[in-house]
Structure 1
């Protein structure tokens, strides 16, 4: 919905603002919930420990889950990039999208980021508030 000069029209602005507010509200709830669900040694392994499905049905559901998770990640990443120039929490949305996507080196990137004190301290603060043990992170 662009006008003659390539600018966003008012209805489009309200749609973008509404989606932005919904993503923001969802992130306020989802991010702490996810941080609390992770085990304290989640970032303490050299490589991601893969859990393999045991039955044919669970393999099917696992594949469907991976595809849906990556589609959601790509959507969040796209929305986040758009929110860098539109109203919204662009960086937070990009980080959510990247966390949902599967790509080579993702776990090493996560470990590297979490090992930084300015990221680890807020994560552990959230975990303490939720009654969970701090993350154990060893650099290697």
Structure 2
């Protein structure tokens, strides 16, 4: 019952800001987390990230992968990927993540060329900005 209540609250709160399905291609690329807002309203800001998320989406399926940027503009990564699938219900876009340990969904709240935000079923909102590599070459 508690999960149903959280889901309904999440669904209702996300209806005000809709993302157009035509924008989903904007998710492709490198993203870094900038802020997390918790259910009680407290926020955690991330000024420096040691990893960024790479998202590759083709139609309504794709994957997310953690990448570690290097100062020369390249990335280190593992072979671990999280398959993702887009689900659209009542004009709300959900991103479904699947790992060998868990499956979960987040509501896509906003999306532009430079940023996006998602909210999970625990009412935690994640704000991402497009990653701009730092290239320090002589």
TM range (shorter): under 0.3
- Give TM-score scaled by structure 1 length: 0.25
- Give TM-score scaled by structure 2 length: 0.26
Q: Of Structure 1 and Structure 2, which has the larger fraction of its residues in strand? A: 2
Q: Of Structure 1 and Structure 2, which has the larger fraction of its residues in helix? A: 1
Q: Report the structure number with the largest CA radius of gyration.
A: 1
